[in-house]
Amino acid sequence: MIRTIREDELIESRRLCFIAFENAIDGASCAAESADTIKRNPVTRMKRDYQNTLAWFDEHNVMQACVSHCVCPVEFDGKTASMAAVGDVAAMPCCQGKGTMKSLFRTMLEDWHSRNIHFSYLYAFSGTYYGQFGYTYCVRRKYWNFPMTQLPDFRVSGTVEIYQPSRLEDLKTIYEAFTTGCNLSVMRDDIEWYHAVGQYEPDRDFRFAYVYYSEAGTPCGYLIYSKTTDEKQAVTMNCHEFAYSDIEGLMGLIRFCKSRQAYYDRVSIPLPDFIPLDFLCQEFSLPAGHTATIRQTMHGMVRVVHAEEVLKTARFLANGSIRLFLRDPWLPANHGLWEIEWKEDRLSSLHYQADGGEEQADAVLDISLFSRLICRGLTKEELSYLPAECRRCGDDMLLQLFPQKKCAISDYF
């Protein structure tokens, strides 16, 4: 049997996670403590909405697997879309490999589709595993690691202030400016900000937040960081968030980092992949430990849940039309032939044929590839890597259907 958990079953779902992960989670020492903390002080949307957790029960009504999830608004092509974020995915070892998790994901996907939810997102332990459910890598993140001595010594006229709760609206303004135009960025509510800054005290948790203001008093940038020390005793200012609304904000934050070089050897800055931060450093060739480095990761996986709603919201390029066949074995309502027409970058006509065949299509895509392309778009260089069945319509039409877009997400689930 599959159903959402009751309030009194939260502790059992946490116990299941502790056993499945074979580790303590949430900073709690046991399942009971974890459940109690979630009820008393939920610090994320996922924990606040814990009763969304879907569980699989055996014939003795014993919980054997569960998946937590919540729904949040995200930016998509200049509009607001809905996204089901997946959190803990856990199954008892005795149930693994028996289709239990497949049943849970099928039930969740069908439920989300019935509620017109556009996307789902998760952070995967295995891309192959979640790929079977239609999820795909999409968002890329770069971690820029600079020696403090090599940071530019920018001259700025503004000031940096330590974060206080009274400055929360300033952080919101900067974050909104930084993420505008970035697909899949979470449109944060108060609970996301509580998770980012509200729950921490700098003198207790040693997690610090500072805001840069221009000379006119306009908030232009903020960073949130903590201190880490590696095995060689190198001390790094490890930024959890780094956001700015304009170039002065970026320069002001870099200037602040530079001012801390007596206390830190390096700074690590996480940013979307499209930001060219290499302009800030002229040295990438010194021996290891003395030079700037860049590490890129695939930052989570996305899946289109409701193809029709996504197409209605999507931005295209100029004017065009195409017959697109989508393969989606998990959601029959997505599977089939879509006749799409757009004018002046937006959808003008959409017709779906469940019984349409692949031979009628100008392009054939699996749901995972469609999810990546509709969120991130295509470049000319990427075209040759696509399967031939995707390119029946010609490259120019694909570039109009999937124009290049920015993607970024800072929130974990």
Q: What is the pLDDT of residues 217-259, one digit of tens each?
A: 999 999 999 999 998 889 999 999 999 999 999 999 999 999 9
3-state secondary structure string across 258-320? HHCCCCCCEEEEEEECCCCHHHHCCCCCCCCCCCCEEEEEECCEEEECCHHHHHHHCECCCCE
Say yes or no to pLDDT of 286 above 70: no
Average pLDDT over residues 41-63: 94
- Per-residue DSSP letter, 148: G
Phi and psi torsions of 370, nearest 5°: -60, -40
pLDDT band at 95 (very low <50, low <70, confident <90, very high): confident
Question: Which single residue is written with the structure tokens 């709603």?
Answer: 309
147, 292 contact by CB (below 8 A): yes
Spatial separation of the C-alpha atoms in residues 9 and 265, rounded to whole Å? 47
Only one residue has tokens 């692949």, namely: 358
Q: For the CA atoms of the chain, what is the radius of gyration?
A: 23
Res 289 pLDDT > 80: no
**pLDDT score recorded for residue 288:** 67
Residue 387, classified by CB atoms within 10 Å of its CB into exposed (0-12), middle (13-18) or buried (19+), is exposed
Q: Helix, strand, coil % (nearest 5) of the chain?
A: 35, 30, 35
CA angle (96, 100, 102) in 5-degree steps: 110
Q: Element (H or E) spanning 207, and its range?
A: strand 207-213
- Residue that has been written with the tokens 């700098």 in this structure: 202
**Nearest Cα to Cα of residue 237 among 270, 214, 211:** 270
Relative to beta strand 320-327, strand 363-366 is parallel
The tokens 């109690």 sit on which residue?
36
pLDDT above 80: residue 205: yes
pLDDT of residue 23: 87
Residue in this structure with the two tokens 């390096």, named with its chain if needed: 266
The whole-number pLDDT of residue 393 equals 92
Chain centroid to CA 370: how far? Answer: 17
What the block records as the tokens of 195 is 């998770």
Amino acid residing at 98: K
Domains of the chain: 2-117 (3.40.630.30), 141-298 (3.40.630.30), 304-405 (3.30.1050.10)
Residue 223's H or E segment, with its range, is strand 219-229
Residue 395 pLDDT level (bands cut at 50, 70, 90) = very high
pLDDT digit string, tens, across residues 65-80: 999 999 999 999 999 9
Residue among 406, 404, 371, 396 at smallest CA distance from 183: 406
Greatest Cα pair distance, the chain, in angstroms, is 69
| Contact between residue 70 and residue 47 where contact means Cβ atoms under 8 Å apart | no
Residue 124 in this model has a pLDDT that exceeds 70: yes
3-state DSSP assignment of residue 72: strand
320-341: average pLDDT: 98
User: For 149-163, how does the pLDDT look when each residue is reduced to its tens digit (9 = 90+)?
Assistant: 889 889 999 999 999
The residue type found at 40 is: R
Q: Is the pLDDT of residue 17 over 80?
A: yes
Lowest mean pLDDT among 230-234, 330-334, 379-383: 230-234
pLDDT at 147 over 80: yes
For residues 261 and 84, the answer to whether their CB atoms sit within 8 Å is no
Q: What HEC string does 185-201 produce? A: CECCCHHHHHHHHHCCC
Q: DSSP string spanning 69-98?
A: EEEEEEEETTEEEEEEEEEEEEE-GGGTTT
Closest-CA residue to 77 (of 311, 307, 300, 274): 311
| Residue 281: pLDDT over 90 | no
Residue 282 has pLDDT above 70, yes or no: no
> What integer best gives the mean pLDDT of the chain?
94
Q: Report the alpha-carbon angle 78-79-82, nearest 5.
A: 135
Mean local confidence (pLDDT), 101-117: 97
DSSP string, 102-130: HHHHHHHHHHHHHTT--EEEE--S-HHHH
